[in-house]
Structure 1
Amino acid sequence: MEELPATALGVKLNDGVILAAERRLSYGGFVLSRAAKKVFKIGRFGIAGAGIMGDIQTLTRVMNVEIKYYEMYNNKPISVKAAAKLLSVILYQYKWTPFISELLFGGIDEEGPKLFVLDPIGSLIEDSYAAVGSGARVAIGVLEAEYDPNMSLDKGKEVVLKALKAAIERDVTSGDGIDILMIKRDNTSAEDFIKSF
């Protein structure tokens, strides 16, 4: 499978999870949009992705409904791992006509911050930091050199911005700004929002 156009990345820190993506939406050699949203907040969780925008948006809407249904039916909050497994099952159900997307899913629960990487058919890998999409190889190099789980969220944001800016400089299908979602350990309410740079 060829690389999906876009760059998204995530890091898990002691104090929270950061998900980020650039904004360029391209198809072949054309830039279709300079304001595509590739980072989404779903309650206490976040999704960032690379691939076909319609697929990422659809999966975000499906997960929003499924998480609410689970929590109403079981009368308790869903864990990050259980929510990520739910997303994995949804992706696997469509393995014959897959969603063309690589996803990062993160959040915080009683066990602390967690980050998961998913491919189009639902492979689920828990990691401390990850990058997906066509600029991932460049971004992961910066993350590997500078990642420290003990750094503050502000320092983590600086590293994430540096990694995405490096990918944007070297990948023609990435660019036009950066969206960052920071989910803090001490505040996972709706006050968290996506900031643009």
Structure 2
Amino acid sequence: MEQQNWADFPILLNTTSSPTLHSGELLMNDEAILKTGTTTVGIVCEDGIVLAADKRATAGSLIASKKADKVHILNENIALTMAGTVSDAQLLMKYCTSEIKLKELKGNREVLVKEAANLMARMVYSNIRKMSMIPGVAHFIMGGKDSSGYYLFDVFADGSIQLIDDYVSSGSGSVFALGVLDSAYEKKLSVDAGIKLAAKAVNAALQRDIYSGDGLDIVTITAGGVRKVVAKELRVKADA
């Protein structure tokens, strides 16, 4: 089997910053940094992978977006959720997508899920350690399928990577989502049941976490490929 080496891949990192000066000190303006806050969920099912996330993005105490897309399809076999600083997460995701495509074209074969996950982990490792006035925090849950099966990886914000065999959650609302997953997850769960469980887990966070809200996106990875199966927005309006 061909030995894979990602060492020759260029790592291009985001260096944007939004500092403010106050009392002679360089301080971070938290409201100038767009963050996802977030509740994201990944579930391993018997016949596939389920990924889910809410739709809220924040800038400090401001709800900056109610339509944030936190579940992204990288190719026909791989998708991921993102949490953290939006600019870093978006940039890393774009570079990872490009490098996966280049690898497929050069090698004339599909990229394995573990290869894509290790590439993203290497990028995240470099990104959080770069010199910047804005911490490059980005956390990904990557799911996919290849010739050897279905896989779910947790790519943590420090660049560490873990193969998940049941479920995982990230973001500020994960403590609420994990409570649901801990109590309701079962081995050999079907994708259909996984969709319902993911929705229940994210909804639990929406009820309690102020940085999660405004809707739900769910993507499944099955033998038929990667598909968005749920895209719901929550509209709340008070009438007198």
1:195 CA displacement:
2.6
1: CA distance, partners of 2:229 / 2:116: 20
| Structure 1 partner of 2:12 | none
- Aligned: 1:195 with 2:233: no
Larger Rg: 2
| Structure 2 partner of 1:120 | 157
| Structure 1 partner of 2:58 | 26
| Structure 1 partner of 2:37 | 5
| Structure 2 partner of 1:36 | 68
Distance 1:93 1:194, change over 3 A: farther
Q: Which structure 1 segments of 5+ residues have no match?
A: none
1:194 CA displacement:
5.4
Shifted more, 46-55 versus 171-180: the winner is: 46-55
Which secondary structure does the structure 1 equivalent of 2:224 belong to? Answer: coil
TM, length-normalised to structure 2: 0.76
1:93 CA displacement:
2.3
Alignment equivalent of 1:160, drawn from 186, 190, 198: 198
Instruction: Work out the percentage of aligned pairs sharing the same amino acid.
Output: 33
Q: Which structure 2 segments of 5+ residues have no match?
A: 1-34, 233-240
- Aligned: 1:69 with 2:69: no
Write the letter of the residue equivalent to 1:87.
M
Write the letter of the residue equivalent to 1:89.
R
Contact 1:71 1:77 in 2 (8 A): yes
Distance 1:57 1:13, change over 3 A: same
Which residues in structure 2 correspond to 1:63-142 (within 5 Å)?
63-97=96-130, 99-127=136-164, 128-142=166-180
TM, length-normalised to structure 1: 0.92
Higher RCO (C-alpha under 8 Å, 6+ residues apart) = 1
Shifted more, 3-12 versus 65-74: the winner is: 3-12
- Aligned: 1:16 with 2:48: yes
Write the letter of the residue equivalent to 2:58.
S
Q: What are the Cα deviations for residues 68-123 of structure 1, in whole angstroms up to 9, with x where unaligned?
A: 11111112111111110111111122242263111101101122111111122310
Write the letter of the residue equivalent to 1:36.
A
Contact 2:125 2:159 in 1 (8 A): yes
Moved over 3 A (4+): none
2: CA distance, partners of 1:4 / 1:140: 18
2: CA distance, partners of 1:4 / 1:40: 14
| Structure 1 partner of 2:211 | 173
